Amino acid sequence: MKNQQPLLHRDTFRLEFGAGEPPLAHWAQQMKRSMLREMLAVVARPGILSFAGGLPAPELFPTNEYAQVTAHVLATDPAALQYGPPYVPLKRHIVHLMAERGVSCHEEQVFLTSGAQQGLDILARLFLDPGSPVILEERVYTGIQQAVAPLEPQILTVTTDLETGMDVEAVAAYLEQGTRPALIYVNADCHNPLGVSLSLEKRRRLVELACRYGVPIVEDDPYGFLHYDGRAQPPLAAFDNRCVFYLGSFSKILAPALRLGWMVAPEALIPKLTVIKEANDLESSAFTQRAVCAYLDAGHLPAHVDDLCREYRRRRDAMLAALERYFPAEARWTRPAGGMFIWVELPGRLDTVALLKLAVEREKVAFIPGTAFCADQRPLLTGELCRAAHCLRLNFSNCTPERIEDGVRRLGRIVASEFGHR
């Protein structure tokens, strides 16, 4: 590995602005490049077999049904292309979707968003004062870091058990010592990037703690409907929806380009959420709200989600089998019950940023190095390795089982050549 340059130079992570630029807000001066975005750009070259992005399978998008409902909406509803209030019939469908997940709510609690990411941004603005503490897992979805960054929070981290999820007792310890975080962020089902789902006991305990200490939980649940082994656990919002702010999304069950999601929140807070969203994008597209509503009216969603789950289960199983076959026996990985990701921990002190460069150059295969998901990004600035430096995230939803087998075989070759294993 000696003479290998990292795929991305660590010392370029802070965004630099030239002299003569207007003075920026403090947080914008501190802003770092998104390592994830940069890597996705690097690996999106033609000919690369990529397990990098969190992309759904494009061949499974319900294109024909969506074309029919959009044509119908345009032909029949003059409000579809106008500014307008959130579309109540869509909220009614969401109440039913939430009931399927075991969450009882009413339509006045449903707040429509332009995707779960916007929900994170809005909740960060609702809850954080500048410098507030927030609790995140050490390995975390990068979008929450971006959402809280403008408020320059104090990031408190807890570890994650790869079988039972977040270390809830570490959260309890913070709270018992008197720390009052502005929010606790949880991705309880099919965690991005780890693939793990939070155990039932931990769900109960976390909600009980948050309610007792009056700390809001932001439950980010874009993968909750994508379960492959029996029924999913109820989300945290099923236990309480006064201290749990639930974020759902149509991105993974219909298509990300719709940019449509929802929040379930206490009704009293909806007017404040509305003002924050107005500053952000005024409102979510009236056209998309009506088209998705018509798609749901036509009853297409259950069969579509069943198809997704059937195919993604095949892809997950193909990846697990290929890892077993081609990766060194000392490596370990998660066995997700749903979602889109497997997290792999490689043995030894390997830096997977450097491994990615080799994998792309020699085998034309890509993944995302674990470092991209570290809640504490300081090591990136100082050139140290973060504690996930030997880990990688693999996406299994975006490739056929055949390509998964081929790609993991190639990746296994690089890993083996680096370790002298197998």
Ligand X SMILES: Cc1ncc(COP(=O)(O)O)c(C=O)c1O
Work out whether 220 is an interface residue with ligand X (CB under 6 A): yes
x-marked contacts with ligand X along 11-50 as a string, rule CB under 6 A = ----------------------------------------
Shortest distance, CB of residue 187 to ligand X, whole angstroms? 5
- Contact range with ligand X by CB under 6 A, out of 25-33, 115-123, 225-233, 386-394: 115-123
Shortest distance, CB of residue 414 to ligand X, whole angstroms? 26
Count of residues interacting with ligand X (CB under 6 A): 14
Give the chain as a 3 state SS string.
Answer: CCCCCCCCCHHHCECCCCCCCCCCCHHHHHCECCHHHHHHHHHCCCCCEECCCCCCCHHHCCHHHHHHHHHHHHHHCHHHHCCCCCCHHHHHHHHHHHHHCCCCCCHHHEEEECCHHHHHHHHHHHHCCCCCEEEEECECCHHHHHHHHHHCCEEEEECEECCCEECHHHHHHHHHCCCCCCEEEECCCCCCCCCCCCCHHHHHHHHHHHHHHCCCEEEECCCCCCECCCCCCCCHHHCCCCCEEEEEECCCCCCHHHCCEEEECCHHHHHHHHHHHHHHHCCCCHHHHHHHHHHHHCCCHHHHHHHHHHHHHHHHHHHHHHHHHHCCCCCEECCCCECCEEEEECCCCCCHHHHHHHHHHHHCEECEEHHHHECCCHHHHHCCCCCCCCEEEEECCCCCHHHHHHHHHHHHHHHHHHHCCC
Rg (CA), the chain: 22
Residue 323: which of 220, 223, 195, 210 has the closest Cα? Answer: 195
Q: Which is nearer to ligand X, 136 or 293 (CB)?
A: 136
Shortest distance, CB of residue 224 to ligand X, whole angstroms? 11
Distance CA 75, CA 406 (A): 46
Q: Which is nearer to ligand X, 259 or 290 (CB)?
A: 259
The one among 261, 369, 370, 407 contacting ligand X by CB under 6 A: 261
Q: Which is nearer to ligand X, 223 or 326 (CB)?
A: 223
Site for ligand X in 135-154 (CB under 6 A): 141, 143
Work out whether 117 is an interface residue with ligand X (CB under 6 A): yes
The one among 222, 224, 235, 369 contacting ligand X by CB under 6 A: 222
Site for ligand X in 154-193 (CB under 6 A): 187, 192
Q: Which is nearer to ligand X, 194 or 350 (CB)?
A: 194
Q: Which is nearer to ligand X, 116 or 175 (CB)?
A: 116
Q: Which is nearer to ligand X, 141 or 245 (CB)?
A: 141
Which residue's Cβ has the minimum distance to ligand X? 115
φ, ψ of residue 113 in degrees (nearest 5):
-125, 170
Q: Which is nearer to ligand X, 86 or 261 (CB)?
A: 261
- Contact range with ligand X by CB under 6 A, out of 27-35, 112-120, 121-129, 299-307: 112-120
Shortest distance, CB of residue 262 to ligand X, whole angstroms? 9
Q: Are 159 and 134 in contact (CB under 8 A)?
A: no
- Contact range with ligand X by CB under 6 A, out of 65-73, 109-117, 231-239, 348-356: 109-117
- Contact range with ligand X by CB under 6 A, out of 5-13, 113-121, 379-387, 389-397: 113-121
Work out whether 116 is an interface residue with ligand X (CB under 6 A): yes
- Contact range with ligand X by CB under 6 A, out of 33-41, 111-119, 388-396, 408-416: 111-119
154: its two tokens: 């104090």
x-marked contacts with ligand X along 190-209 as a string, rule CB under 6 A = --x-----------------
CB atoms within 10 A of CB 57: 16
The one among 256, 266, 379, 401 contacting ligand X by CB under 6 A: 256
List residues near ligand X by CB under 6 A.
54, 115-117, 141, 143, 187, 192, 220, 222, 249, 251, 256, 261
